[in-house]
Amino acid sequence: MGLSRRSLVSGFAAGLGYASLRGTELLARTRAGIFQRGRAPIDLSVVAKINNNENPYGPSEVVVEAMDSAWEWVNRYGTPDGGLRAGIQELHGVERGNILLGAGSGEILDVVGTTFLLGGKKVLGAEPSYGQVYSHARRVGGGAILRPLNPDNTQNIPDLVEVANQHASEIGFVYLCNPNNPTGVVVPEQDVQQLLDGIPADMPVLIDEAYHHFIDDPAYATSIPYVLEGRPVIVTRTFSKIAGLAAMRLGYGVAPAEIIEKMSLFATGSQNVLVKFGGAASLRDLAGQERVKALNIEVREKTIAELRAYGYEVISSQTNFFMVDVKRNVREVAQEFRPFDILVGRPFPPMDQHLRVSVGNADEMRRFMVAFREIFPAAANAAAA
Ligand code: PMP
């Protein structure tokens, strides 16, 4: 009787005492893990962790099954990728040389910084936005020119264009987070066009589409077509959000081949085989993506409506998080949520009174609202109940 590799693998796992649990079964446990951060352990079966814009549902079953099927490769180098590169190429209509894989899209953001800021150049972008890009710029000896948002929390495109032209020789690249983290606000298609047409033609632009999959605003469009036109645009995507694979670390950048070539000098080129198979499956799993998107929108809009009815202003969001104006310092407010076993927010200067809340599952958001009502009095303009 021929022993299949799979049964050898599961026999080995059983020998180690894992009782050959497969990922699909293990997945049920991921929702109730205990992790240590700082001094106190955090029990995720108790705590609502709605502070890091994660996907509360985890990866879909087909994604986990695809990861399971990759175990047989884990002791090898140069393994198949489960169709990941081909899937990304097909999705965007690009060639192999237009893609750079990273351990999370965060790696690609860092690689862009290292590629274009060495020698002390600066990134130009809005504040607040995804701060990792600006802190990395400083770490590699460059800097950041940060421009305020408009009063309605949109990004001020004419201002960015003006600064890009005035300071062109100092600027290594422009960063546009679309939709923006932490506000959840999109940059409409026309504004992206205005930015790209207004800045010097050879100035690289990093467009971060980490939250692309949650958007339903028709004014938004992906910026991938600019890459196809050959503009110096790098678009990043991640499997951490819609695909629920944050801890598995997979993301990618799409850019003209000569830019990818420069960037790849600074990339690790290392992603684990399990997430490559899972990522490839998630690209094909449109129904799974749709489920997460629909649940996110439903739970987000219900929570926002409740907060508004209670008299608090919330910035309309196109992502899996939103900001509520609590009119108090959010550092203190986040502490007040802790006794309710709720992790929320951190300061995003200069928006120090806006609490960023990630959209958890329905139960987590119900608990968030209970705590919110305890911590905050009904505002004067609350709808009469
Ligand atoms: N870009 C934005 C705007 C983000 O919010 C995040 C993570 N929160 C990332 C990139 C990086 O995510 P990852 O490295 O998990 O792909």
**26 pLDDT exceeds 90?**
no
Q: Which of 112, 181, 282, 322 to mutate to test the pocket of ligand 1 (most atoms within 8 A of CB)?
A: 181
Residue nearest to atom 11 of ligand 1 (CA): 106
* pLDDT band of 45, cuts 50, 70, 90: confident
| 27-31, 46-50, 290-294, 369-373: least confidently modelled range | 27-31
> Is 224 domain-assigned?
yes
Residue 27 and residue 59 in contact, taking contact as beta carbons nearer than 8 Å: yes
Round to whole Å and give the CA distance between 238 and 352: 28
Three-state helix/strand/coil letters over 144-209: EEEEECCCCCCCCHHHHHHHHHHCHHHEEEEEEECCCCCCCCCCCHHHHHHHHHHCCCCCCEEEEC
Phi, psi of 358 (to 5 degrees): -80, 150
Of 214, 258, 205, 202, nearest to 236 by C-alpha is 205
> Is 316 domain-assigned?
no
DSSP 6-69: HHHHHHHHHHTTSTT--HHHHHHHHTT-EEE-SSSEEETTT-EEESS---TT-S-HHHHHHHHT
* pLDDT band of 145, cuts 50, 70, 90: very high
> Is 269 domain-assigned?
yes
Round to whole Å and give the CA distance between 202 and 151: 30
> Is 99 domain-assigned?
yes
Over residues 299-352, the pLDDT tens digits come to 999 999 999 999 999 999 999 999 999 999 999 999 999 999 999 989 999 999
Domain that holds residue 217: 71-284
Give the ranges where 250-329 is alpha helix by DSSP (H): 257-264, 273-284, 286-309
| pLDDT > 70: percent of the chain | 88
> Is 248 domain-assigned?
yes
Ligand 1 within 6 A of 245 CB? no
Q: What is the CATH number of the domain that holds 238?
A: 3.40.640.10
Tally the domains of the chain.
1
Q: What is the model's pLDDT at position 242?
A: 98
Ligand 1 within 6 A of 251 CB? yes
